[in-house]
Amino acid sequence: MIIKPKVRGFVCVTAHPTGCAAHIQQQIDHVISKGPIKQGPKNVLVIGASTGYGLASRVTASFGSGAATLGVFYERPSEEGRPATPGWYNSIAFTRAARAAGYYAENINGDAFSDAIKQQTLATIARDMGPIDLVVYSLASPRRTHPKTGAVHKSVLKPLGAPYTNKTVDTDKGIVSEVTIDSANEVEAADTVAVMGGEDWEMWIQALADAKLLAPGATAVAYSYIGPVHTWPVYKDGTIGAAKVDLERAATAINAKLAAHGNGRAFISVNKALVTQASSAIPVVPLYIAILYKVMKAKGTHEGCIEQMQRLFATQLYNGSKLQFDSAGRVRVDDWEMRPEIQDAISAIWPQVTTENLVTLTDIAGYQTEFLKLFGFGLPGVNYDADVEPHIAF
């Protein structure tokens, strides 16, 4: 079939397998171009491995350090007349490339919150890999069925305390408007913490520890975001922010557990704002990202997911480096984004942006390009008018 992008709201409902493979190859090429990452991980578990920072971590681990990787994700394969999700195609492309290069790569597709998938993962590690020395936790999900209670928790993207009004942009139509987001109630706030907080990360680490599948000195990292004052009411000070506070609580608890197990460590890496399927769904944030891209590209400091993760691995985690923490004990790979000159420039542009000057004052074109690349569209060298087989299996 001939596959074209079909965008509905903040998601593209089609994905291109050849384009996704080309996108993966771009990431691989970047990591290889930076040279080997010495003293890197050997056995890596990535929970949330099919897109975004989790996928970039997996690419970096294998093609930077030659690591064996096991990826856990929840993606839909193709159906009759319907392409698979981009994460499905991404994972196939990565797996094929890694195995061709001589690296172990295995995948588990299912609900990472469930006990069944945890047990399947443990069995695979015990059979094929041996103890894990790096656990990357990078789940982004709108809901979670609690494995112990059976309760279904749904996350919301809302402020806490009072409604919030600010500018936003329809990234598909290029229209700037004002949006008011109602505040979350107590149940919604608690549910968001249950989905996006740290409990499941702790459950994964406990399961690995109980199975004696954590290597001495193992590292566990989860990814977070703080961002600028422009987005704080809907992010840092909103329901997501509350969940991230709980993630930091979990990091402290996991760090204590791993420190007692061969001097291991756990921490939060605060990463840069980027176009991802998750960030596209948050009101106000896409407009901020479009301005951020404009400013950082002009300064020559713009990075994507793979550049961020390669820098994290090469300058903080490995290569004989030491982790550099902020006052709250977090690693900051958003440091270039949060430089005063970058944020001051964004603050100057923000109040001026309208639908009429959106293209001039922001990098909305770059945003749209990066958004479509998430689904395998707009990659150089791909013939999007050609028939392509959508039914691809591992």
pLDDT at 30 (0 to 100): 98
What are the structure tokens assigned to 158, written together? 């809302």
pLDDT above 70 covers a percentage of the chain that reads 100
* Averaged pLDDT of the chain: 95
How far out from the chain centre does Cα 370 lie?
14
Average pLDDT (258-268) is 93
pLDDT at 277 (0 to 100): 78
Average pLDDT (386-390) is 95
pLDDT in tens, 310-358: 999 999 999 999 999 999 999 999 999 999 999 999 999 999 999 999 9
Which sign, positive or negative, has the C-alpha torsion 278, 284, 287, 293?
negative
pLDDT at 80 (0 to 100): 85
- What order do you get walking across the sheet with 331-332 strand by strand? 105-109, 68-73, 43-47, 132-137, 214-224, 265-270, 331-332
pLDDT at 185 (0 to 100): 95
Strand 214-224 with 164-170, pairing: unpaired
Model confidence at 168, pLDDT cuts 50, 70, 90, reads very high
Is residue 119 scored above 80 in pLDDT? yes
Model confidence at 92, pLDDT cuts 50, 70, 90, reads very high
Model confidence at 278, pLDDT cuts 50, 70, 90, reads confident
To which CATH superfamily is domain 7-159+191-283+304-335 assigned? NAD(P)-binding Rossmann-like Domain (3.40.50.720)
pLDDT at 296 (0 to 100): 97
Is residue 59 scored above 80 in pLDDT? yes
Is residue 219 scored above 80 in pLDDT? yes
pLDDT in tens, 181-195: 999 999 999 999 999
pLDDT at 211 (0 to 100): 97
Is residue 235 scored above 90 in pLDDT? no
pLDDT at 240 (0 to 100): 92
Domain boundaries, the chain: 7-159+191-283+304-335
Closest CA to 338 of 209, 259, 227: 227
| Residues contacting residue 158 through CB under 8 Å, at least 6 positions apart | 181, 182, 183, 184, 188, 234, 238, 239
Average pLDDT (109-128) is 98
Is residue 48 scored above 90 in pLDDT? yes
The pTM (predicted TM-score) of the whole model is 0.96
pLDDT in tens, 249-258: 999 999 999 9
Model confidence at 230, pLDDT cuts 50, 70, 90, reads confident
pLDDT in tens, 355-374: 999 999 999 999 999 999 99
Is residue 9 scored above 80 in pLDDT? no
Residue 235: active-site member: yes
Active-site choice (74, 235, 288, 318): 235
Question: Residue 70 in contact with residue 121, Cβ under 8 Å?
Answer: yes
